[in-house]
């Protein structure tokens, strides 16, 4: 997978912690309608009962059902075939979140066991949910398959529903040896029959965010390459400071600001931990293993190249964590351009921020072939970082926080004072933007974690869903901050309606699918959604919502989600609670309209 500390899509906010490895006897496979435990930390239990999604509210005329339940942290889905006969490929991401309870090496069968729920794989189902083959691509001791530490985040066929080569993104982001995750992200080819994994591009940046979602159009493969840090500065939340700094897509000039991690360590943006580069110019691609590689960006490479790593170029940049990617249809208000969901900044690290919104963006390369720029790390949506709205309040992930279990700050009075003195206002990383900033199309609530997105087929556009609309999964927060409102937004599906072609561009945002209580399912025993990470329309014109499953977290937005044992934090995965939900419109939808950008 994001994956933010309070809302960043799972993988977008991987922190690195020292963990203790534990061996336990594995539990039986989870039962629907039963309490399910993390198998390494069995005290971490949730109630899992998706049933048929009876507690999910959708507009009149639409119906929810379960396509497949009992999955291990799914994040990606792809289809091959037509409405009458098709296969469904589901990517299980493996170890995605930081906790001693999620370590793949602690699994009783060993890291390379086929049954290990904390390593990535692909399962292939028929259109009725019957398992055809898999797990495919499981890591092997000889170095085959996906990378063992994970996570793997997305899969996509080169020719959409017509198949062709199957691409995937993976990484060793979740490895817990500080610095070992650096440049571990890859784009790989997966044989859809045998599961053999072949590298396509390797050595991509990996820190807080790895290589994530894929989009394919024409002769190019596009992918979201999230930032390696939370907000442009390496802090103690980045492998104790040993993980790699961000890589700019253009030459940048740093501000004269340093960011305090305590213990006498202060760091400039886009620099190694503890490095003072105030006022210096950082050249484009500094620190990259390939020319054209940078982060906080949408990158692309040619599909037909013998050495695709030599064709990499930035298409768009200036994002914290661009996650969801989808090209709009040609006759759309967005005129076939790339629609991007972006996850905003967290209250953590050396440059903690609060209330930063998620964003909806339109990525579009400049006419001269250079990438356009969307403002990160100094613009959070429409506002500069220095606005009082983004001032930190003191959280457990802040570098200067000394914990006192004293809500709302969770920091001692002295350390809270140090945080506020060092980080109010949230100082700029850059002396000035490298080019004029492209504003977002819209902003989202803080901590909502908007992730996978897809445009609706024409037959799905009924009732509240306009033609050309998009549906986007919103994963929800991770409890590092208080909830974003009452009712809280997230753990749901958003509807984005657009104006028509030729009209002034306008977006209308509303909730399309949610649980009846507006909360995630497991704390309240609901038959509904926990953490949706992706959404794709199948050949049958139904929306397939990929639900990562239950996660126990810091619980500041809902005490019912908090991990049971303090040492198990911060984010405990519960294998076997992932679900693929299926949302269909009225019958008679017919064949899917499949564009060349799928």
pLDDT value for 32: 54
Q: What is the mean pLDDT of residues 2-9?
A: 40
Q: Which residue has the tokens 């959409």?
A: 160
Tell me the C-alpha distance between 323 and 7, whole Å.
13
Tell me the C-alpha distance between 151 and 135, whole Å.
15
For residue 21, count other CB atoms closer than 10 A to its CB.
Answer: 10
pTM assigned to the model: 0.93
Tell me the C-alpha distance between 134 and 194, whole Å.
9
pLDDT at residue 479 is higher than 80:
no
Residues 238-291: tens digit of each pLDDT: 999 999 999 999 999 999 999 999 999 999 999 999 999 999 999 999 999 999
pLDDT at residue 557 is higher than 90:
no
List the chain domain ranges: 11-391+426-584, 392-425
Backbone phi, psi, residue 429, to 5°:
-90, -40
pLDDT at residue 138 is higher than 50:
yes
Residue 475, preceding peptide bond in cis (omega within 30° of 0): no
- Provide the token pair at 429: 């990383």
Q: How many residues are present in the chain?
A: 598
pLDDT at residue 173 is higher than 90:
yes
**CB–CB of 123/93 below 8 Å?**
no
Per DSSP bridges, beta strands 578-584 and 63-71 are: antiparallel
pLDDT at residue 188 is higher than 60:
yes
- Provide the token pair at 283: 């050249």
Portion of the chain with pLDDT greater than 90, in percent? 84
Tell me the C-alpha distance between 304 and 291, whole Å.
18
Q: What is the mean pLDDT of residues 171-176?
A: 92
Between 114 and 590, where is the model more confident?
A: 114
Least confident of 74-88, 130-144, 475-489, 497-511: 475-489
pLDDT at residue 524 is higher than 50:
yes
Residues 390-447: tens digit of each pLDDT: 999 998 889 999 988 777 788 999 999 999 999 999 999 999 999 999 999 999 999 8
pLDDT value for 12: 40
Residues with Cβ < 8 Å from 84, sequence gap 6 or more? none
What is 11-391+426-584's CATH number? 2.120.10.30
Q: What is the mean pLDDT of residues 33-60?
A: 94
pLDDT value for 269: 98
Residue 1 bridge partners (DSSP): none
pLDDT value for 480: 67
- Provide the token pair at 324: 């969801």
pLDDT value for 486: 73
Q: Is 478 helix (H, G, I), strand (E, B) or coil?
A: coil
Q: What is the CA radius of gyration of the chain?
A: 22
For residue 161, count other CB atoms closer than 10 A to its CB.
Answer: 18
pLDDT value for 404: 80
pLDDT value for 501: 84
DSSP state for residue 553 in the 8-state scheme: B
pLDDT value for 509: 97
Burial of 292 (0-12, 13-18, 19+ CB in 10 A): middle
Residues 561-582: tens digit of each pLDDT: 999 999 999 999 999 999 999 9
Q: What is the mean pLDDT of residues 334-354?
A: 95
Q: What is the mean pLDDT of residues 72-86?
A: 97
pLDDT at residue 25 is higher than 50:
no
Distances from the Cα of 4 to the Cα of 345, 412, 422, angstroms: 7, 23, 22
pLDDT value for 22: 33
pLDDT at residue 3 is higher than 60:
no
pLDDT at residue 590 is higher than 70:
no
pLDDT at residue 323 is higher than 60:
yes
Between 170 and 569, where is the model more confident?
A: 170
Between 5 and 594, where is the model more confident?
A: 594
Closest among 125, 179, 114, 191 to 148, alpha carbons compared:
114
pLDDT value for 24: 34
pLDDT at residue 15 is higher than 50:
no
Q: What is the mean pLDDT of residues 534-563?
A: 93
Q: What is the mean pLDDT of the chain?
A: 91
pLDDT value for 587: 74
pLDDT at residue 21 is higher than 50:
no
């Amino acid at each position: 997978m994001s994956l933010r500390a309070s809302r960043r899509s799972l993988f977008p906010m991987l922190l690195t912690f020292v963990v203790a490895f534990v061996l336990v006897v594995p539990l039986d496979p989870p039962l629907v309608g039963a309490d399910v435990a993390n198998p390494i930390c069995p005290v971490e239990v949730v109630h899992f009962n998706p049933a048929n999604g009876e507690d999910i509210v959708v507009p009149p005329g639409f119906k929810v059902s379960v396509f497949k339940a009992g999955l291990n942290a799914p994040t990606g889905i792809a289809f091959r075939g037509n409405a009458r006969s098709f296969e469904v490929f589901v990517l299980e991401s493996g170890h995605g979140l930081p906790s001693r309870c999620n370590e793949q090496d602690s699994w009783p069968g060993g890291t390379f066991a086929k049954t290990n729920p904390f390593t990535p794989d692909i399962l292939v189902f028929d259109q009725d949910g019957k398992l055809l083959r898999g797990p495919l691509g499981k890591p092997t001791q000889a170095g085959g398959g996906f990378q063992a530490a994970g996570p793997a985040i997305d899969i996509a066929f080169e020719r959409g529903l017509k198949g062709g080569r199957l691409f995937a993104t993976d990484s060793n982001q979740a490895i817990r040896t500080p610095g070992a995750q650096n440049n571990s992200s890859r784009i790989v080819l997966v044989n859809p029959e045998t599961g053999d994994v072949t590298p396509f591009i390797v050595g991509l940046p990996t820190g807080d965010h790895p290589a994530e979602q894929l989009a394919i159009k024409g002769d190019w493969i596009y992918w979201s390459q999230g930032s390696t840090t939370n907000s442009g500065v390496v802090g103690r939340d980045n492998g104790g400071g040993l993980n790699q700094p961000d890589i700019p897509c253009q030459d940048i000039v740093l501000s004269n600001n340093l960011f305090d991690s305590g213990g006498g360590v202060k760091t400039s943006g886009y620099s190694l931990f503890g490095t003072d580069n105030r006022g210096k110019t950082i050249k484009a691609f500094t620190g990259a293993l390939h020319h054209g590689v940078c982060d906080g960006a949408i990158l692309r490479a040619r599909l037909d190249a013998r050495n695709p790593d030599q064709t990499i170029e930035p298409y768009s940049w200036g994002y914290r964590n661009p996650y969801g990617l989808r090209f709009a249809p040609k006759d759309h208000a967005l005129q076939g351009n790339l629609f991007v969901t972006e996850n905003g900044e967290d209250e953590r690290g050396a440059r903690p921020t609060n209330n930063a919104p998620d964003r909806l963006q339109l990525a579009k390369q400049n006419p001269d072939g250079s990438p356009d720029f969307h403002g990160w790390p100094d613009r959070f949506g429409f506002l500069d970082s220095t606005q009082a709205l983004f001032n930190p309040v003191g959280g457990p992930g802040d570098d200067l926080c000394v914990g006192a279990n004293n809500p709302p700050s969770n920091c001692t009075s002295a350390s809270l004072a140090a945080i506020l003195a060092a980080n109010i206002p949230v100082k700029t990383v850059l002396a000035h933007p490298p080019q004029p900033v492209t504003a977002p199309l819209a902003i989202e609530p803080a901590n909502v974690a908007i992730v996978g997105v897809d445009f609706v087929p024409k037959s799905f556009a009924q009732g509240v869903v306009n033609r050309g609309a998009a549906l986007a999964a919103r994963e929800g927060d991770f409890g590092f901050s208080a909830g974003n409102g009452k009712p809280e937004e997230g753990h749901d599906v958003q509807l984005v309606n657009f104006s028509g072609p030729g009209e002034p561009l306008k977006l209308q945002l509303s909730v399309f699918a949610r649980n009846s209580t507006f909360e995630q399912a497991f704390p309240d025993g609901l038959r509904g959604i926990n953490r949706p990470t992706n959404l794709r329309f199948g050949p049958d014109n139904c929306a397939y919502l990929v639900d990562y499953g239950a996660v126990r977290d810091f619980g500041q937005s809902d005490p019912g989600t908090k991990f049971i044992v303090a040492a198990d934090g911060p984010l405990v995965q519960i294998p076997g609670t992932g679900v693929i939900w299926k949302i269909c419109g009225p019958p008679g939808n017919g064949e899917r309209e499949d564009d060349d950008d799928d």
